[in-house]
Chains A and B, each alone.
Chain A
Amino acid sequence: MKEMSQQTRQPTEQEKYGRHRPVTDRDAQEINRVEELSYDLKIREVMTSNLHTATPDMPLLKVLEILRVNRISGVPVVQDGKLVGIFSIEDIVRALEKNDFSSTVSQYMTREVVTVAEYESIVKAIQTFTDSRLGRLPVVNKDDELVGMITKGDITRGILLALQRDYKEEELRRYRASHLFEDIISDRTTLVLRYNIKAGDFTHGGNASGNIKRALLRLGADAQLARRCGIAAYEAEMNLIIHTNNGGILKLEVEPHKITLSTTDDGPGIPDIEKVLQPGYSTATDKVREMGFGAGMGLVNIKRCVDKMELESTVGKGSKLTMRITVPPETIASKGKPT
């Protein structure tokens, strides 16, 4: 005998309307996503809402007919919209034992019904399933009116649908971007992104490096690689904003097996490169330090995040910082691609 919710089902709210949730970088990491969803998804989004119900004054033979025709093992009993009990096969058996088929549902139904509320997260339903050992639960609204039924199957289906919808768009973008290197044939393909960084432009500080991180995720970089490059790019970007005369260019070069980040500026140049590489050494002004910059940790952070860092500088001419990151196999569209 089938479970109640497996009747010819109407689409759930979620299936009908989808979930309008922007996909963020965090989503792209997929860490504990199912766990998050069990808090995020509401019971009403996954429950089945077209139900067969009985009323307390319904003759037993009539309910038996409902169960038989719809091949279900029980029905919620509703009076004036309110849930008053559950009537299941076991109750029929009890009536059978007494050979009592002339009575009504109210005499044999189970009155103490465990329910969940439609506005609660599905994690609540999961807990209730575990605690009560029931296979299905009636769902009520805030006025205690029956609005649906939920089974473990509904929850699984709801989570799978949500995952599918959440990632569909981002996956598509990512799929297209990550095949860039495979679709374009050359002896050496490099994707170059350039960002013009203005001196003193704290308002846009971090925008370029944020875009770099997103671009790398789209290209198929894993979260950790994108984060390493993002942090290095951020520190380099802030250096251009804080320390240059006229700003400079932040450049990202992506190849299937390596990433090169670089900044170039036209001054003032660094008098003592050894010194600026020391942790804690900074030439930042007090005003900049008040904002939390100038810890003297920027280049140290960069060194930690990249595989190779080179800094060249000539006073009066400018500086060039080059950062190289080796892309581990299986990321950035390097999958099975001979290069």
Chain B
Amino acid sequence: MNLQTLIEKLQLNILTAPRDFTSIIPQGGYTSDLLSCVMAGAKNGNIWVTLQAHLNIVAVASMLDVAAIIITENAQPDAATIAKANEQNVILLSTPKASYEICGTLWDMNLR
């Protein structure tokens, strides 16, 4: 399943610059709001689900090469965070739904 399909099915908002999401194939996922846990647990190519929306999530995502970050419960990253994400090729997506629901849906979509 490519990222474009995932974005459509979960009705996610795309916060960073548009690009060819069909060429990105996420491999599994990880959820936590504790950055050190993400550092230890997330693998490259994962979808990272979190309600953190501040600048430092970009550095973590970039270090780990995650496929995209889904920011939940309508948490809004500021302009600097979005700019940095664009600069570092990190994809930021958002949703009003809670992390629990997003992860459940991703699991059902066989992103395991």
Q: Do A and B come from one complex?
A: yes
Chain A residues with CB under 8 Å of chain B are: 22, 24-26, 29, 31-32, 35-36, 39-40, 121, 202-203, 205-207, 209-210, 213, 227, 230-231, 234-235, 238, 291-293, 295-298, 300-301, 304
CB distance B34 to A297 under 8 Å?
A: yes
A203 near B55 with CB under 8 A, answer: yes
B63 & A301 in contact (Cβ 8 Å cutoff): no
- CB of B33 closer than 8 Å to a CB of A: yes
Give the total of B residues in contact with A, Cβ under 8 Å: 32
| CA A206 to CA B55, docked complex, whole Å | 10
Residues of A within 8 A of B33 (CB): 292
Q: Which residues of A contact B60 (CB under 8 A)?
A: 206, 234
In the assembled complex, 5 residue pairs joining A and B whose CB atoms fall closer than 8 Å, in A order, are A40-B23, A121-B22, A291-B56, A292-B56, A296-B36
B interface residues (Cβ-Cβ under 8 A, vs A) = 2, 20, 22-25, 33-40, 44-45, 50, 52, 54-60, 62-65, 80, 88-89
A210 with B63: in contact, given A39-B2, A292-B56 (CB under 8 Å)? yes
Is the pair B55, A205 in contact by a Cβ cutoff of 8 Å? yes
Q: Which residues of A contact B58 (CB under 8 A)?
A: 206
CA distance A296 to B39 in the complex (A): 12
Shortest CB distance B2–A (Å): 7
A105 nearest CB across to chain B (Å): 38
Q: Is the CB of A234 within 8 A of B65?
A: no
The complex places the Cα of A235 from the Cα of B63 at a distance, in Å, of 11
For A32, A213, A230, the residue with the greatest tally of chain B CB atoms inside 10 Å of its CB is: A230
Complex Cα distance, B59 from A300, in Å, reads 19
| B20 and A297 form a contact (CB under 8 A) | no
> Which A residues are in CB contact (< 8 Å) with B62?
25, 206, 210
Question: 4 more A-B contacts (CB under 8 A) besides A40-B20, A291-B52?
Answer: A121-B23, A206-B59, A206-B63, A292-B33
**A residues less than 8 Å from B25 (CB atoms):** 32, 35-36
Are B23 and A297 within 8 A (Cβ)?
Answer: no
Separation in Å of the A152 CB from the closest CB of chain B?
21
Residue in chain A with minimal CB distance to B34 = A295
In the complex, which residues of chain B have a beta carbon less than 8 angstroms from the beta carbon of A210?
Answer: 59, 62-63, 88
Contact call B40/A301, Cβ cutoff below 8 A = yes
The CA of A291 and the CA of B55, in the complex, are separated in Å by 10
Q: Return the 3 tightest CB-CB contacts between A and B, nearest first.
A: A206-B59, A297-B36, A295-B34
Chain A's closest residue to B88 (CB) is A210
A202 to B54, CA, bound (A): 10
Q: A121-B22, A227-B64 are known contacts. Are A297 and B37 too (CB-CB below 8 A)? A: yes
Shortest Cβ gap from B68 to chain A (Å): 12
Q: Which residue from chain B places its CB closest to the CB of A233 in the assembled complex?
A: B63
User: Once bound together, how far apart are the Cα atoms of A238 and B2, in whole Å?
Assistant: 33
Residue of A nearest to B58 (CB): A206
A300 to chain B, nearest CB (A): 8
CB contacts (< 8 Å) of A234 on chain B: these are: 39, 59-60, 63
Kindly state the separation between the CA atoms of A25 and B61 in the bound complex, as whole angstroms. Answer: 12
Chain B contacts for A231, CB-based, 8 A = 39-40, 63-64
* Chain B CB within 10 A, most for which of A31, A207, A210, A234: A234
Bound: A205/B38 CA distance, A = 16
Chain B residues whose CB sits within 8 angstroms of the CB of A22 once the complex forms: 89
Residue of A nearest to B67 (CB): A26
Chain A residues within 8 Å of B54, by CB: 202, 291
Contact (Cβ within 8 A) A26 B80: no
Cβ–Cβ < 8 Å partners of B59 in chain A: 205-207, 209-210, 234
Closest to B65 in A: A26
Return the chain B residue nearest A41 by Cβ: B23
Of chain B, the residue at the smallest CB distance from A39 is B23
Q: Is the CB of B39 within 8 A of A301?
A: yes
**Interfacial chain B residues near A295, Cβ < 8 Å:** 34-37
Query: How far, in angstroms, from A207 to B80 measured CA to CA in the complex?
Result: 14
Closest approach, in angstroms, between the C-beta of A210 and any C-beta of chain B? 6
Shortest CB–CB separation between residue A57 and chain B, in angstroms?
42
Q: Whole-angstrom distance between the alpha carbons of A202 and B35 in the complex?
A: 13
